[in-house]
Chain A
Amino acid sequence: MIHQYTMFGLNIVLDVYSGAVHAVSDAVYEILLYLADETELPDTIPANVLNILSERYTKDELIEAYGEIYELHKQGLLLTDDEYKDLALNLPKKSVVKALCLHIAHDCNLRCSYCFADTGSFKGKRSLMSFETGKKAIDFVIENSEHRRNIEIDFFGGEPLINFKVVKQITEYAKEQGKLHDKNFRFTITTNGLLLNDEINDYINENMSNVVLSLDGRPQINDRVRRRVDGTGSYDTIVPKFKKLVESRGTKDYYIRGTFTANNLDFAQDVMHIVSLGFKQTSMEPVVVPDTEYYAILPEHLNKIYSEYERLAQIYIEKRQSGEPFNFFHFMIDLDQGPCVIKRLSGCGAGHEYLAITPDGDIYPCHQFVGDKNFYMGNVFDKTFDLSIKEKFEKSNVYTKPSCQDCFAKFYCSGGCCANAYHFNNDINKPYEMACAMERKRVECAIAIAAKLKLDE
Chain B
Amino acid sequence: MKQIKTLTKASLKETKSKGGCGECQTSCQSACKTSCTVANQKCENI
- Give the interface of A toward B (CB within 8 A): 17-25, 27-28, 64-65, 68-69, 71-72, 76-77, 80, 83-84, 87, 91-92, 95-96, 98-99, 101, 116, 148-150, 152, 154, 186, 188, 190, 210, 212, 255, 257, 259, 283, 285-286, 288, 329-330, 332-344, 347-350, 353-354, 366-368, 411-417, 420, 435, 438-439, 442-443, 446, 450-451, 454-455
Contact = CB atoms under 8 A, between A and B. Distances in A.
A25 B1 CA distance: 11
A72 B5 CA distance: 11
A286 B31 contact: no
Contact of B11 (A71, A76, A95): A76
27 contacts: A17-B13, A22-B5, A24-B4, A68-B2, A72-B4, A77-B11, A98-B26, A101-B29, A154-B29, A210-B31, A212-B33, A283-B31, A329-B31, A333-B37, A336-B8, A337-B43, A337-B46, A339-B41, A347-B38, A368-B34, A414-B27, A415-B36, A417-B36, A439-B36, A446-B40, A450-B7, A454-B7
Given A341-B12, A450-B7, 7 more contacts: A99-B26, A99-B29, A116-B34, A149-B23, A283-B32, A338-B40, A340-B12
Given A21-B8, A349-B26, A354-B26, A339 B38 contact: yes
Interface in B4-28: 4-13, 15-16, 18-20, 22-28
B4 A150 contact: no
Contact of A64 (B2, B7, B35): B2
B39 A412 contact: yes
By secondary structure, the A interface counts as: mixed
Interface of B: 1-13, 15-16, 18-20, 22-44, 46
Given A92-B20, A98-B22, A348 B7 contact: no
A18 B1 contact: no
B12 A255 contact: no
A414 B36 contact: yes
B6 A20 contact: yes
A68 B4 contact: yes
Contact of A366 (B4, B9, B28, B41): B28
Contacts of A64: 2-3
